[in-house]
Amino acid sequence: MNFPSKLIEDAVTEISRLPGIGKKTALRLALHLLKQSEAHTEALALALSRMRQEIKYCKICHNVADEEECSICKSHRRDGSIICVVEDMRDVLAIENTNQYQGKYHVLGGVISPIQGIGPEDLKIESLIQRIEKASESEPVKEVILALSATMEGDTTAFYLAKRLKEKGVSVSTIARGIPVGGELEFTDEVTLGRSIMTRINYNTD
Amino acid sequence: MNFPSKLIEDAVTEISRLPGIGKKTALRLALHLLKQSEAHTEALALALSRMRQEIKYCKICHNVADEEECSICKSHRRDGSIICVVEDMRDVLAIENTNQYQGKYHVLGGVISPIQGIGPEDLKIESLIQRIEKASESEPVKEVILALSATMEGDTTAFYLAKRLKEKGVSVSTIARGIPVGGELEFTDEVTLGRSIMTRINYNTD
């Protein structure tokens, strides 16, 4: 595309570096901003810039936070004996929205992915081990719940973590994989269906 | 969503004000920026801010430009006796990409839309009339091509412009509406097919 303005070209180039946004969408967004007030664009640019520069990560769970410690780690209402291990902040938000979990979190910052060159040392795994070791006196960690995506990378990470954590004597569990609530059996893929049969829940044990 | 950080919340709010981007996509983009280097986000913020503050509009055709006059209006190779009237910059880019048009442009900045409260006075219509009046001595405008979208608003604008321009004694034409090249007749909607029969091209007149 031959842009009539270098300014627009630069903006389109930068916007289209975002994931899932191509040149055409970037141009549409740029022209939208030009139609809005200057204050609108300034607010956007400032919010992005401030977020990137001033963001902090909780020193305990590594979730995004405005302070040294996030509100969940600071809270005395949350059960510190259970730690839910997730990939990133979006997973924390998703689990928080269920209102079903009262424990704490640990944000890995990714999953093990040999293809993308991400190994265990690139994730906050040592920090999790240390957290469990340090916590043992006051409020010992009893259980670690692995809430990772049901992908090859997620499973690899879960397998690695389970091996490392068992040495520490904590109970390790993973969230159930199965048919989504509301999902119809006949439309469920074979792998999910197969797994949900293998990991079936026995009503008698309750 | 209860964000763990006000900085992220502000960024997500601002990003999700862009058209076609919801809260979830905005959060995905914000987290993407956090994973990239600070320079990446700074470049994006600066490009947006500079574009909005420093952008100029060509004083002749009102297209986006870096100077007082755009490169097309300044060019002596372009035929000033034909003016193609379009809605915005994207239409200029689209027509330029065809390499079929050697005349000049006039960017209206929108189309007449009573629902959105956009009347003829909100568009660069008077400026087009004046441009035709002023040009009459040196290089008179012979033809105005209306290249507007085939929507209700586009047609309304074309009808209004045709009425205004005929008083000025210039020939007014509109780009052909019909079956797209490569389009199959049986899958064309009735309105398009009906129009393409009504505005059929007679081979004998050539």
Q: Mutation target for B interface from A18, A78, A87, A88: give the one with most B CBs within 10 A.
A: A18
State chain B's mean pLDDT as an integer: 89
Q: Which of B3, B45, B50 sits opposite A49 (nearest CB)?
A: B45
Q: What is the mean pLDDT of chain A?
A: 89
Partners of B50 on chain A (C-beta within 8 Å) are: 7, 10-11
A38:B44 CB<8 A: no
Mention every residue, 6+ apart, whose C-beta is less than 8 A from residue B37: none
Residue B16 sits in the same domain as residue B101 = no
Question: Residue A204: is its pLDDT beyond 90?
Answer: no
Looking at the domain assignment, is residue A205 inside a domain?
no
Instruction: Examine the domain organization and report whether B90 and B30 are in the same domain.
Output: no
Give domain status of residue A92, yes or no.
Answer: yes
My answer on whether B44 and B129 are in the same domain is no
Chain B residue numbers with beta carbons less than 8 Å from the beta carbon of A68 are none
A202 lies in some domain: no
Q: Which residues are A57's β-sheet partners? A: A64
A160 occurs within a structural domain: yes
Q: Is residue A1 part of a domain?
A: no
pLDDT per residue as tens digits for the range B111-165 = 999 998 999 999 999 999 999 988 767 778 999 999 999 889 999 999 999 999 9
Burial of A84 (C-beta count, 10 Å sphere; 0-12/13-18/19+) = buried
Say which CATH number the domain at B135 has. 3.40.1360.10
* Gyration radius of chain B over CA positions: 22
Q: Is there a single domain that holds both residue B95 and residue B168?
A: yes
In this complex, is the C-beta atom of A41 within 8 Å of any C-beta atom belonging to chain B?
yes
Terminal-residue alpha carbon distance, chain A: 65
A141 within some domain: yes
Span B179-198, pLDDT tens digits: 888 888 888 888 888 888 88
Which positions in chain A touch B40 (Cβ < 8 Å)? 17
* CATH number assigned to the domain comprising residue B24: 1.10.8.420
Q: Give B 80-139 residues with CB within 8 A of chain A.
A: 88-90, 92-93, 96-97
For residues B29 and B84, state if they share a domain.
no
Is the same domain home to A99 and A142?
yes
Q: Read off the pLDDT band of A194 (50, 70, 90).
A: confident
Verify whether the Cβ–Cβ distance A10 to B47 is below 8 Å.
yes
Q: Angle A125-135/A152-166 helices, nearest 10 degrees?
A: 30
A44 and B17 within 8 Å at the Cβ level: the answer is yes
**The dihedral sign for the CA sequence B111, B113, B118, B121:** positive
Q: List, for residues A150-193, the tens digit of each pLDDT value.
A: 889 999 999 999 999 988 888 999 988 888 888 888 888 888 88
Q: How many helical (H) and strand (E) elements, i.e. helices and strands, does chain A have?
A: 8, 6
Note which residues in 134-173 of chain A have CB less than 8 A from chain B: none
If asked whether residues A17 and A93 sit together in one domain, one would say no
Average pLDDT over residues A61-71: 90
* Number of structural domains in chain A: 2
When CB atoms are compared, the residue of B6, B32, B93 closest to A18 is B32
Residue B17's pLDDT is what?
95
Q: Do A113 and A144 fall into the same domain?
A: yes
User: B18 or B166, which is more confident?
Assistant: B18
B31 contacts A89? CB cut-off 8 A? yes
The alpha carbon of residue B2 is apart from the nearest alpha carbon of chain A, in Å, by 7
Of B30, B48, B71, the CB nearest to A41: B48
Q: Are residues A81 and A171 in the same domain?
A: yes
Taking contacts as CB-CB distances below 8 angstroms, the residues of chain A near B70 are: 4
Q: Which tokens in the block code for residue A196?
A: 């949900």
Q: What is the ipTM of this complex?
A: 0.81
Q: Please give, one letter per residue, the 3-state secondary structure of A172-204.
A: EEECCCCCCCCCCHHHCCHHHHHHHHHCCCCHH
**Residue B35 is part of which domain span?**
6-54
Same domain, yes or no, for B97 and B147?
Answer: yes
A52 contacts in chain B (CB < 8 Å): 33-34, 38, 41-42
Residues B33 and B108 in one domain: no
What average pLDDT does range B54-73 have in this prediction?
Answer: 91
Chain A residues near residue B11 by CB distance under 8 angstroms: 47-48, 50-51
Instruction: Say if residue A117's pLDDT is above 90.
Output: yes
Cβ of B27 and A90 within 8 Å? Answer: yes
* Judgement on whether residues B30 and B118 belong to the same structural domain of the protein: no
Residue A187 resides in a domain = no
Strand partners, B83: B104, B144
**Per-residue model confidence as pLDDT tens digits over B2-49:** 788 899 999 999 999 999 999 999 999 999 999 889 999 999 999 999
* pLDDT over threshold 60, residue B206: no
In a domain? residue B122: yes
